[in-house]
Structure 1
Amino acid sequence: MSLSRARSYHDHFAEVISRETGIKLPSGKKVMIESRLRRRVQTLGFTSLDEYFRHLFEDGGFGAERSDVIDLITTNKTDFFREPAHFRCLVTDMLPDIIDRKQRLNRTVDLKVWSAACSDGSEAYTAAMLLEEAARNGMAFQYAILGTDISNRMVAAARRAIYTTQALALVPEALRTRYTMPGQTEDMRGMARIVPALRGKTNFTHLNLMDDSYPVDQDVDIIFLRNVLIYFEPEDQARVIARLARHLAPKGYLVVGHSESMTVKQPNLKQLTTAVYQKE
């Protein structure tokens, strides 16, 4: 196959991924693409990446491969208590404000939190631990957390809620003791699972942020969308933020990654602190 033909496959692949997921794959990502797809190429018995691309785009194979390709290409970097300032803000500012406003309106304080790119669930369960602690300490509210992700593999991992002890080392010891269960069998050595009480407050499902609409409530109190927008083109960033804003309750909060503050230019979202916005 000629070099120009091979390059066209890479270009077409990047265009398809951008259209399907919003993720930018410039030419500098070619090596990353090849490394992430290599095992899939071998599993299906193809002799080269070009042969796999030909299967996807000339033989009609993309439909069947779509979910696996997206799982492989998406970046799922996440940690418990990542960017901890956001979680301090959740406990000290956002939560008290939401409770106060709802109580003054004589409304039941049912808090809705959406982790809009939840990866393996670390962000959602971090929020759950902190909200559970706040409730244990006397704050009067109920809560539910929705986690969504484009990767079916990550959604399944979040539902399992099983993590290595290394991943959980970032959780403060008191919370780790209270909200995780160390594995008791040989196959669970070095692993622990989030306790049922927190798993029961969370729900994880597939969602593509590039869709024109989202099957999510439109009175969400807090939306986390952190370290995802950086992979999108500016036009897609604006469209996603506008759609998310429609799902926020009045005075609801949007939290993005620290490096993404400049991407939020939605007129009805007012910046309160670094990467934290409130719907006006």
Structure 2
Amino acid sequence: MSATRLASSTLDSDSFRAIADLAYRESGLTLADKKATMIQSRLRHRLRILGLPDFAAYCAYIQSENGQEEHPHLISALTTNVSHFFRESHHFDTLGKLVAKRLPDLRAGGCLRIWSAGCSNGQEPLSIAMTLLDHAPDMHKLDLRILATDIDASVINFAREGVYPDRLMSGVSDEMRARFFTRHTASAGGESGYAAKSEIKGMIRYNPLNLLKEWPMRSQFDVIFCRNVVIYFDVETQCRLWPRMHQLLRPDGVLFLGHSERIAQPEKFGFRVGEPTTYRPL
């Protein structure tokens, strides 16, 4: 089968529905009909890799027992892994105030637990680590854990590496860049950039995690960042997620959502509204 034939394959309505249904079951991702062109564009390379002639064959494959291993690749292709350092900076201002308040307890033997749910390529958890170290340079020596998770294993691997091309470094001040990163020279054909120092990388534990499935965490968190994730979920899926978030948040904890995300009727799920897109347990 020629690459030209594969590249020209179009997404028929039955295949769109099969892909959309699987994406919803596996990850809660809601795909409207208007996303058909986007899905077609993003999945064509999977057809090429698998040597499949069209989307009907692809759907038959992902619905077969042998096609189970393709599901993570499908979800990865359909999710948007876009992030920035210190995105929505007011959240990091709030985090800084929380850290300043907790420092005496931390230095007396207390602990701080933070979860970056939907961490994408790692810019969010690194921004969290830099914020903490900016307020307390000894933070990496205290009882601190930052858990960073994402459904996409490929971006988790990227985040673990902690190497960012110049184009992804916007938002990091010159002072923080000098303090927390080293210049990284790429091999032939690659992009030069910056590598996060072990001081901040060592503060973060990265793991793949599907928010719709079982969570292995048993202890509660002081802070949960779940930003620009639930925007892809329908209301029913969101309503199943909020009680689980509430259960994992300490009574004086903070939940951050993305700028276009809201908890409808937060009191129903045990939350009260704080600063913009910031929720605290009742």
Cα deviation, 1:138-164, whole Å, max 9, x if unaligned, reads 999542210001001011111111101
2:74 to 64, 69, 75: 69
Letter in 2 for 1:67: P
Contact in 2 for aligned 1:218/1:249 (Cα 8 Å)? no
Kindly indicate whether residue 37 of structure 2 is the aligned counterpart of residue 40 of structure 1.
no
Shifted more, 184-193 versus 18-27: the winner is: 184-193
- Alpha-carbon distance in 1 for matches of 2:239, 2:43: 30
Task: Report the equivalent of 2:275.
Answer: 273
Q: CA deviation at 1:249?
A: 1.4
Whether the 8 Å contact between 1:227 and 1:260 is mirrored in structure 2 is yes
Sort the Cα spacing of 1:95 and 1:13 in 2 relative to 1 into closer, same or farther, 3 A. same
Deviation track 1:189-215 (CA, whole Å, cap 9, x = no partner) reads 52211100111110000111111x311
Partner of 1:200: 202
* C-alpha distance 185-255 of structure 1, shift in aligned 2 (>3 A): closer
Gaps spanning 5+ residues in structure 2: where? 1-10
Please tell me the residue identity of whatever aligns with 1:156.
N
Secondary structure of 2:212's counterpart equals: coil
Q: Tell me by how many angstroms 1:96 deviates.
A: 2.9
Counting only pairs closer than 5 Å after superposition, residues 19-30 of structure 1 correspond to structure 2 as 19-30=25-36
Query: Quick one: structure 1 residues 204 and 139, their matched pair in 2 at CA, closer, same or farther if it must change by over 3 Å?
Result: closer
**Greater shift after overlay, 40-49 or 28-37?**
40-49
Cα distance between partner residues in 1 of 2:128 and 2:233: 25
Determine the structure 2 residue equivalent to 1:210.
Answer: 212
The count of aligned residue pairs is: 270
Question: Can you list the C-alpha shifts for 1:116-172, whole angstroms capped at 9, x where unaligned?
Answer: 111111000001011011112899954221000100101111111110112113211
Show the counterpart of 2:100.
Answer: 96
Question: In 2 relative to 1, CA 252–167 (structure 1 residues): closer, same or farther, beyond 3 Å?
Answer: same
Unpaired segments ≥5 residues, structure 1: none
- The answer to whether residue 227 in structure 2 is matched with residue 222 in structure 1 is no
**Cα 1:241/1:99, change in 2 over 3 Å:** farther
Counterpart-to-counterpart distance in 1, 2:81 and 2:33 = 21
RMSD: 2.3
> Compared with structure 1, are the counterparts of its residues 138 and 24 closer, same or farther at alpha carbon in structure 2 (3 Å cutoff)?
closer
**Rounded Cα–Cα distance in structure 2 between residues aligned with 1:107 and 1:85:** 28
Distance 1:228 1:46, change over 3 A: same
Runs of 4+ in 1 over 6 A off after TM superposition: 137-140
Question: What's the % identity of the aligned pairs?
Answer: 29
**Which residue of the partner structure matches residue 159 of structure 1?**
160
**TM-score where L is the length of structure 2:** 0.88
The answer to whether the 8 Å contact 2:132/2:139 transfers is no
> TM-score of the superposition, structure 1-length normalised?
0.89
Q: Provide Cα deviations, 1:96-123, integer angstroms capped at 9, x if missing partner.
A: 34446x47xx962321110011111100
Amino acid at match of 2:272: K
Separation in structure 2 between the aligned mates of residue 253 and residue 114 of structure 1, nearest angstrom: 11
Determine the C-alpha separation between the residues in 1 that align with 2:139 and 2:17.
56
Deviations 1:216-275 (A, max 9, x none): 143210000001111101011111121111111121110001111244725321111111
In the alignment, which residue of structure 1 is the partner of 2:4?
none
Which residue type is aligned with residue 208 of structure 1?
N
Residue identity matched to 2:199: A
Partner SS, residue 163 of structure 1: strand
**Structure 2 partner of 1:231:** 232
Report the CA distance shift for 1:185/1:167 in structure 2 as closer, same or farther (over 3 A).
closer
Secondary structure of the 1:136 match is coil
Q: Counterpart of 2:117 in structure 1: which amino acid?
A: A
In 2, are the aligned partners of 1:91 and 1:131 still within 8 Å (CA)? yes
2:8 matched residue in structure 1: none
